[in-house]
């Protein structure tokens, strides 16, 4: 699966959060496409990038409940109505559309009656409306609130969740997670040198056994529910 990350940030080199996420994106099969780094927007080239992707992500810091103006400029130029409809062919049809939104505010502020008085989901409605018009499949928003306050453990958890958001089969079910972790673990072990490979394979076996145990447990539970035990 090819994932295209349309990143918008006016000062990306100074953004620790974006640099951190970029490293994560490099661990999985993605294209990192930073809008503000483009000399000029080549509409046809951008549209081709979109057509070639299976999953399209808009990633940005939340400025006034929306993306920075750089992404809006890109939208206004690249996403012609004609391209989104494609004269009835809908070139983005069935592609997945996701949003990665970083914010300096805590998530609890994004509620009615709280400080921001709007939910993150409501603020993202205009982007979803475009995706809907293009008959895309809409993913839930991946929010990154207050990155700088996270300790190292939470940052690592964020990184894995982000990598899954970019590359894991959706919906985010237990089965799809297992498959993703299994795949990642296999790749990791195959890269180890011979000395570590023995230990690596032991871990892999344990993971696979646990997965099988879990699967059997699930089957047993189903049987009990159906009264077939």
Q: Which residues bind its own copies (CB under 8 A)?
A: 10, 63-70, 72-73, 75-76, 79, 115-118, 122-123, 125-126, 128-130, 132-133
CB atoms within 10 A of CB 215: 12
Nearer to its own copies, 133 or 159 (CB): 133
Q: How far is the CB of 45 from its own copies (least distance, A)?
A: 19
CA 161, 167, 173, 174 dihedral sign is: negative
> Residues 126, 82: contact at Cβ < 8 Å?
no
Nearer to its own copies, 49 or 133 (CB): 133
CA 100, 106, 111, 117 dihedral sign is: negative
- In sequence order, what E strands does 104-199 have? 137-138, 142-145
Q: How far is the CB of 143 from its own copies (least distance, A)?
A: 16
Nearer to its own copies, 85 or 207 (CB): 85
Nearer to its own copies, 106 or 213 (CB): 106
Residue at token pair 């399209």: 56
Nearer to its own copies, 110 or 180 (CB): 110
Task: List b or e across 62-93, with b for residues whose CB sees 16 or more CB atoms inside 10 angstroms.
Answer: beeeebbebbeebbeebbeeebbebeeebbbe
Q: How far is the CB of 101 from its own copies (least distance, A)?
A: 12
Nearer to its own copies, 51 or 132 (CB): 132
> Residues 98, 139: contact at Cβ < 8 Å?
yes
Q: How far is the CB of 82 from its own copies (least distance, A)?
A: 13
Q: How far is the CB of 53 from its own copies (least distance, A)?
A: 19
In angstroms, rounded to a whole number, what is the distance separating the alpha carbons of residues 115 and 131? 29
Q: How far is the CB of 163 from its own copies (least distance, A)?
A: 29
């Amino acid at each position: 699966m090819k994932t295209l990350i349309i990143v918008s940030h006016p000062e990306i080199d100074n953004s620790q959060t974006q640099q951190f996420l970029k490293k994560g994106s490099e661990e999985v099969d993605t294209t990192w496409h930073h809008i503000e780094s483009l000399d000029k927007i080549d509409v046809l080239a951008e549209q081709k990038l979109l057509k070639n992707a299976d999953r399209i992500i808009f990633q940005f810091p939340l400025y006034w409940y929306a993306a920075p103006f750089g992404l809006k400029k890109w939208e206004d130029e690249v996403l012609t109505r004609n391209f989104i409809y494609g004269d009835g062919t809908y070139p983005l049809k069935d592609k997945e559309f996701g949003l990665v939104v970083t914010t300096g505010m805590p998530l609890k502020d994004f509620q009615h009656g709280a400080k921001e008085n709007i939910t993150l989901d409501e603020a993202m409605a205009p982007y979803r409306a475009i995706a809907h018009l293009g008959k895309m499949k809409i993913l839930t928003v991946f929010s990154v609130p207050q990155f700088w306050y996270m300790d190292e453990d939470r940052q690592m958890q964020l990184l894995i969740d982000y990598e899954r958001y970019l590359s894991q089969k959706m919906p985010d079910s237990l089965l799809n997670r297992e498959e993703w972790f299994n795949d990642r673990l296999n790749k990791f072990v195959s890269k180890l040198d011979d000395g570590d490979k023995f230990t690596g394979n032991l871990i892999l076996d344990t993971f696979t056994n646990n997965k099988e145990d879990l699967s059997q447990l699930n089957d047993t539970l189903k049987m009990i529910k159906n009264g077939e035990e």
